[in-house]
Structure 1
Amino acid sequence: MTHSRRHFLGTASTLAAGAGLSALVPASVSAFAPVSPADKIRIGAIGINGMGWADLTAILKNPGTECVALCDVDKNVLDKRAAELSRGGAKVKTYGDYRQLLADKDVDAVVIGTPDHWHCLMMVEACQAGKDIYVEKPIGNSIAECRAMVAAQQRYNRVVQVGQWQRSQKHFRDAIDFVHSGKLGKIRLVKVWGYFAWVNPISKLPDGNPPAGVDYRTWLGPAENRPFNPNRFHFNFRWFWDYAGGLMTDWGVHLLDYALLGMKSATPHSIMAAGGKFANQDSGAETPDTLTTVFEFDDFNIQWEHAMGIDGGPYARGHGIAYIGNNGTLVLNRDGWEVIPEGKRMEAVAFQKASDNGLDLHAQNFIEVIKSRKMTDLHAPIQVGADIAIFSQMGNISYRTGKKIYWDKEHGKFTDDEANKLIAKEYHNGYKLPSVS
């Protein structure tokens, strides 16, 4: 982006919608004054099968944005998404190698929607290439990756929004304001849970050949070189340690983030996790389908629990966060929040229903900060993403070691050697964990 483009994006208060993107942009955008192509924020997206595509679509609803490039290792997905944009009148370049997209000087900002094991490398290299970044959660697949990503943002001073879009929803913010008001009294426990009947344990499948059009070697990237298995590809990568961390880092990152925000804390003293493949011991997954984890702080605990294949969670909700205080309990999830009093110690608060689209608001916040360069206005900056990704990794490390583990905050490591071995993941296939000086 040239100096004149940066000046315009930093001072303009109104930008027009990208030309020809009528399929993705609301009709109301047409009321904005036209903006020359040189003054638009040009977006490239890497990993566009699931949330990457949803993120891109939300970003393109903002005036003055346009998609100029797409990248995916699955040519079937790449061609499909390019065709969808083409039907709206957009012409985009397509890449199979993300490095070519990052080298494209027509790209100002990138969306990273790949499997988790690719987030760190791509985000760091995008910072080095001078791009602003919207990266999906969890930001890293290890504690060491999270640290490298924070260092990269600080070193290169890029706008980095993490895809924890609940940070932009009004009812979540209102609930946290109530928690911080003190009306609940002393909060002694925060229960966080995800019970998901729509996520069933996967059956074992034989290894085979990658689908036609899939660059499987590139998909593996820094992960261990294994034969292709359909269970490990696309959505189900979440259930394998090579690429992700199961429900703890998938949904847990969203929900536990609000537990930490409510309690104004990020670092536990100890972590104890227990669970396993209880729903289906013959499951083809590696991560547990049932898990309970307790994070211990000075004078309260945070408890996470998840169960795949069933919906019967606490408070008759499939997912949620409950701040349990001496005077009452506030129960919060994506649908809304309410307060259940403890006897007559406080008044009940009737259910406050969700009223907005968190993803759209999150994308809008990202674009606004690209224009203003006011990093403090970001709703989910890189440090927020790192805090919760590290917190969730701690839970998984306790589970994988089978131990109650203790965190040495002063030295940034566990007191247990076996747990410390899981702070960083081994990189394979010639890739190395980025080092940011």
Structure 2
Amino acid sequence: MKPPTRASTPKPQNELTRRTFIKAGTAAAALGASSWNRVVGANERVGIGVIGFGLVGRIHTRNFKAQPDAQVVAVSEAYRPRMDAAADLVGGRVAQYPDFRKLLEDKNVDAVVIATPDHWHALMTMMACAADKDMYVEKPLTLFVREGRWMVEVARRHKRVVQVGTQQRSGPHYQRARELIRGGRIGKLVSVQVSYFRNVAPGFGNPPDGNPPPDLDYDLWLGPAPQRAYNPNRAIYHFRWFWDYSGGQMTNLGQHSLDVVHWITGVAGANAITSAGGRFFLEDNGEVPDTQDALIEYPGFRAVCQWRECAAGVAATGMGGLEFNGTKGTLVLGRDGFEIFPDKKENPTNIVARIIGGHPVGGPQPVPEGEGVQFWTEPAKDSSGNWKDQYVQHIRNFLDCVKSRREPNSDLQSGHQVATVCHLANLSLRSGRKLRWDPAKDDILGEPEVAAMLLRPYRKPWDAELRALRVA
């Protein structure tokens, strides 16, 4: 087995069983005895352990169960009713662990799906790496910037395959759109518009603090997050409304959309970010913005992100709509497909004259143009997108990489880079400052007070787990 290596379409490279692999002394020596738990052969089933059984955890459990070379062998949930629901969905004999650490000790588990609240993603991933498990970890990858660097370090040390749950990269129509943009179909990229609009007014109420449900291990649910009184809006579902556990829609959906931008353009990070917004309309006890705009300055182009929770708007492609604006036209991309809208090919001296009825005396005069309308590029439309299939394609890519040891479509390093941009947008909003970023140093320039917010402390005893991982 080798460390993950990049492959555009990962496929199993051999059919090694555990026995034949052990006999392959040079390969085993390269990996190291402490760097693997069980080598999964090309024809073997991958034992899957699922941690977290909320909305997305249920989707993943169903999809992994449907794969012929995967078997869900264990589930873990801090909320007992969800644990029972997960076991019912899997059926048969499935190990149930109220504490995820026991799942990580299970030798039948080869790979772990992490579909917990956001504040758990990083630490669980690192602990799973140390337990010699491969990971499919949901986005957003991290709660704060420094976690991403730690995750990359630990995964590389233990030679683990880690797929980030930004499944658009595995969607065939997203891949076709990428080829068109990179091939120059819309010309040179000028800007990208990222949007997500919905209306959840007036919000989710202001329930009082109280005792957690008896079936919820609230202390374990909190994990490394600060100790807080239990509130129904903090756990179990609306955690994304609070800074302790999430970065709001900027990190939730922002990681999805900006990941597509990074993947298509090949950028590693932003040069500068400015963001503004607030919680202006929702009447509940949430903390994160219900309205947020961000201007992200990438090398060579700009991205404008807009999130609204109180005005649905008329976004052309619904959730996670993207507009790539080029010098020849615009490509509008969403989970259902994409469409190219060509720009007209006109003499610039005629455009204003046509609108206002001619130029003033002494100004440029209209220039004769040929018959018919000409365009800079050709139109195109693809309506083949299916969000459910994108999940399936992404886990299929992950399973293939678990066996081949190739790097998956959504690798950990790129996931860290995208999550960093999302976190910087939130830090700009909260500090009221334009932030300049040095991707090479992985640090904010000239704002030491804001740079200190790139790191957060873990609550005891989870800080000890972090120290045990030996991260810098």
Contact 1:126–1:132 (8 Å) recurs in 2: yes
* SS at structure 2 position matched to 1:364: helix
Give the corresponding residue for 1:418: 449
Contact 1:142–1:393 (8 Å) recurs in 2: yes
- Choose 1 or 2 for highest CA Rg: 2
Unaligned runs of 5+ in 1: 16-38
Q: What displacement does 1:84 show?
A: 2.7
Alignment deviations for residues 139-180 of structure 1 (CA, whole Å, 9 cap, x no partner): 111111111111111110111111111111001111111111
- Distance in 2 between the 1:106 and 1:436 partners? 27
- Distance in 1 between the 2:279 and 2:285 partners? 10
- Distance in 2 between the 1:58 and 1:238 partners? 24
Give the corresponding residue for 2:11: none
Within-5 A mapping of 1:178-193: 178-193=180-195
Equivalent residue pairs, number? 406
Shift in CA distance, 6/366, structure 1 to aligned 2, threshold 3 Å: farther
Give the corresponding residue for 1:309: 310
Q: What displacement does 1:200 show?
A: 6.5
Q: What displacement does 1:267 show?
A: 1.6
Give the corresponding residue for 2:45: 40
Q: What displacement does 1:414 show?
A: 0.9
- Distance in 1 between the 2:61 and 2:72 partners? 8
- Distance in 1 between the 2:403 and 2:440 partners? 38
Structure 2 residue 418 is the aligned partner of structure 1 residue 388: yes
What TM-score results when the alignment is normalised by the length of structure 1? 0.88
Give the corresponding residue for 2:397: 365
Shift in CA distance, 366/351, structure 1 to aligned 2, threshold 3 Å: closer
Structure 2 residue 448 is the aligned partner of structure 1 residue 428: no
Give the corresponding residue for 1:26: none
- Distance in 1 between the 2:115 and 2:107 partners? 20
- Distance in 1 between the 2:19 and 2:87 partners? 30
* Superposition CA RMSD, Å: 2.1
- Distance in 2 between the 1:200 and 1:137 partners? 27
- Distance in 1 between the 2:201 and 2:141 partners? 22
Q: What displacement does 1:60 show?
A: 1.8
- Distance in 1 between the 2:294 and 2:255 partners? 14
Shift in CA distance, 101/272, structure 1 to aligned 2, threshold 3 Å: same
Structure 2 residue 157 is the aligned partner of structure 1 residue 155: yes
Q: What displacement does 1:240 show?
A: 0.9
Q: What displacement does 1:351 show?
A: 4.5
- Distance in 2 between the 1:182 and 1:172 partners? 16
Alignment deviations for residues 381-414 of structure 1 (CA, whole Å, 9 cap, x no partner): 1112111111111111111111111113343211
Question: 1:346 is matched by which residue type in structure 2?
Answer: T
- Residue number among 182, 202, 206 corresponding to 1:204 in the alignment: 206
Give the corresponding residue for 1:345: 376
Contact 1:311–1:317 (8 Å) recurs in 2: no
- Distance in 2 between the 1:154 and 1:410 partners? 19
Alignment deviations for residues 91-124 of structure 1 (CA, whole Å, 9 cap, x no partner): 1111111111111112111111111111111111
Give the corresponding residue for 1:30: none
Q: What displacement does 1:262 show?
A: 2.3
* SS at structure 1 position matched to 2:143: coil
Q: Which moved more, 1:71-80 or 1:3-12?
A: 3-12
Shift in CA distance, 200/68, structure 1 to aligned 2, threshold 3 Å: farther
Contact 2:197–2:315 (8 Å) recurs in 1: no
Shift in CA distance, 313/256, structure 1 to aligned 2, threshold 3 Å: farther
Alignment deviations for residues 351-392 of structure 1 (CA, whole Å, 9 cap, x no partner): 4331570001111111111122222xx111111211111111
User: Share of identical aligned residues, percent?
Assistant: 36
Shift in CA distance, 310/353, structure 1 to aligned 2, threshold 3 Å: farther
Structure 2 residue 69 is the aligned partner of structure 1 residue 64: yes
- Distance in 2 between the 1:409 and 1:163 partners? 23
Question: 1:240 is matched by which residue type in structure 2?
Answer: F
- Distance in 1 between the 2:104 and 2:40 partners? 22
- Residue number among 350, 374, 388 corresponding to 2:406 in the alignment: 374
- Distance in 1 between the 2:127 and 2:269 partners? 28
- Distance in 2 between the 1:220 and 1:11 partners? 37
* SS at structure 1 position matched to 2:274: strand
- Residue number among 377, 401, 425 corresponding to 2:431 in the alignment: 401
What TM-score results when the alignment is normalised by the length of structure 2? 0.82
- Distance in 1 between the 2:132 and 2:174 partners? 33
